[in-house]
Structure 1
């Protein structure tokens, strides 16, 4: 704590220098001027300049400030640092908009930019500012104490945390590419490919953890002793987590639950959106909700799937019609109505059946096939409406 307080006092002393204050005020005035100018209507003489992006105008202003400070014989280290950071940011924007859009899908690009490129840029900005304040080396060598028989410094700990973060986030795309190459070369199915991707991610991250412990110089005997003491207590708390992870890998290898699969969950038809290491994300079409279900659920309960072999689903409608009408006429009418619907498949053909006799009404059923299980609710509603209208046109009492 004393070291941190002394470093903060050193930063305040550095910021109070006239040359530093001059650069900070110039940069702040430039940013404020650009904000105010953007609010004003464009002048006819400067209409071409107004078309330039604000980042480009800010860069030109920073270059102008650096030139003026150099002519005045003043220091311009902070201004040059701002120009450097600004150029790197513009380069990243150009790479993202021109190169990554052509090489990666939208999902992969979003993962790479939000989880890897921009966090690394923020880390670079922070380290550059600490270096400009003259505290980077001192903070890196500051000791955090002795852990498991080894002295840990802030610099070494930050280095290990950074590498582990890069492994945790950065290995997703390489693992996916390797699994796709092996899928093509070994003719693996989609589930095996995704399972291989997860195994590669776990293996690389485990190697990173081993390297981190070795880099920190942690005493392995002490670490094993602590791990052995905690294993019994933690085992009861995290056994469900490991059970879900193993279940997720097995589901991927077996292919019984795959992304895109349509299955029944708690009486609702859902589509599998993502099969993660711990839980599966399901999409429920009735209310556009996403359900996060632990992977172990699919091992402990029976699951009805509609797309294991194909996406075709056989549906049924039940209705009762007054007995005054001939059953054969009703059967033919129901088949005709189902066949006219654009979402009802011609093969297998719709089938109508007489299910039973009542005192006043006869019970009928209409069986038909649709190409997608997610269309079941909409098609059933449209068929009921079509039956009601056709019966009304023929003078048949509304079905029950």
Structure 2
């Protein structure tokens, strides 16, 4: 069977080494095409597998270090892929000057058409290494939205290289926010250094109500809630005479 294939297609070395086309003065054969496609595909998969093994062996299990570890191994993976691409290009024998011109043209295209993607990628790497945002953090989205609401409390569920996924506490909807918005905007976080969050709830009662009784009733009800901390203790304050009500707020910690 092997000899029949040789008779049909000729010597394999000659078959894979015969030039197909000329690319920028460099002969390009079937072996180069296989190396550029199959070889690059296998190298990308090998780089991903090797990075996952290293992360499993040396990655940190601590929550505060997990995101930094993820960023480091992500950079390692892309570094291996880039190294493999340069090795393959060098093996094929493409003229370095031509390759430099091509990459220069691609950089212009990236700067014009893909700058948002590159910005999100770089911002994502920086945020992961810095650890300023991590899954589980509770943040306020009011500065990232055109809504007039003062509080849009959300919980970060995932930090990716392109975007951060958060779950809105108000309606339990998920939002995917580009990383560069977290990098260039001021974000209010309630869980950067601790997990205790102070909240205020405003309300009014009709004129003629006993303010002392209102304060006692509301404070007792809030204190009895299982998720409200007893230390610091909840407190209810009278703040103003409204147009049609006595206005209060209750402050509590969760």
TM-score (norm 2): 0.77
Q: Give the alignment partner of residue 164 of structure 1, picking from 16, 40, 63.
A: 40
Listed as ranges, the matches of 1:213-292 within 5 Å are 213-265=89-141, 266=145, 268-284=152-168, 286=170, 288-292=172-176
Say whether residues 1:320 and 2:204 are aligned partners. Answer: yes
Once the two structures are superposed, what CA deviation does each residue of 1:324-365 show, in whole Å capped at 9, x if it has no partner?
Answer: 232111111101111122222222221111112346531111
Once the two structures are superposed, what CA deviation does each residue of 1:233-253 show, in whole Å capped at 9, x if it has no partner?
Answer: 543333333322221121111
Say whether residues 1:350 and 2:234 are aligned partners. Answer: yes
Q: Which runs of 5+ in 1 are unaligned?
A: 1-76, 78-130, 371-400
Which residue of the partner structure matches residue 208 of structure 1? Answer: 84
Q: Which runs of 5+ in 2 are unaligned?
A: none
Q: Which structure ranks higher in relative contact order (CA pairs < 8 Å, sequence separation ≥ 6)? A: 2
Say whether residues 1:369 and 2:253 are aligned partners. Answer: yes
Which residue of the partner structure matches residue 223 of structure 2? Answer: 339
d(CA) in 1 for partners of 2:64, 2:203: 47
Question: Structure 1 or 2: larger strand share?
Answer: 2
Change (3 A) 1:305 1:165: farther
Say whether residues 1:146 and 2:22 are aligned partners. Answer: yes
The secondary structure found in structure 2 opposite 1:226 is: helix
d(CA) in 1 for partners of 2:233, 2:68: 36
The secondary structure found in structure 2 opposite 1:368 is: strand
d(CA) in 1 for partners of 2:194, 2:252: 16
Change (3 A) 1:333 1:285: closer
The secondary structure found in structure 2 opposite 1:296 is: helix
Q: CA deviation at 1:157?
A: 2.2
The secondary structure found in structure 2 opposite 1:189 is: helix
The secondary structure found in structure 1 opposite 2:67 is: helix
Q: CA deviation at 1:203?
A: 0.9
Question: Structure 1 or 2: larger helix share?
Answer: 1
Once the two structures are superposed, what CA deviation does each residue of 1:268-313 show, in whole Å capped at 9, x if it has no partner?
Answer: 3333333222333333455554433222111221111222123332
TM-score (norm 1): 0.51
The secondary structure found in structure 2 opposite 1:310 is: coil
d(CA) in 2 for partners of 1:334, 1:278: 44
Which residue of the partner structure matches residue 183 of structure 2? Answer: 299
Q: CA deviation at 1:209?
A: 0.9
Contact 1:198–1:277 under 8 Å retained in 2: no
Say whether residues 1:310 and 2:194 are aligned partners. Answer: yes
Change (3 A) 1:180 1:230: closer
Contact 1:163–1:208 under 8 Å retained in 2: no
Q: CA deviation at 1:182?
A: 4.3
d(CA) in 2 for partners of 1:182, 1:150: 43
RMSD across aligned C-alpha pairs, in angstroms?
3.3
Change (3 A) 1:358 1:284: closer
d(CA) in 1 for partners of 2:196, 2:62: 29
Contact 2:60–2:69 under 8 Å retained in 1: no
Contact 1:179–1:196 under 8 Å retained in 2: no
Change (3 A) 1:299 1:322: same
Q: Give the alignment partner of residue 197 of structure 1, picking from 64, 70, 73.
A: 73
Change (3 A) 1:306 1:150: same
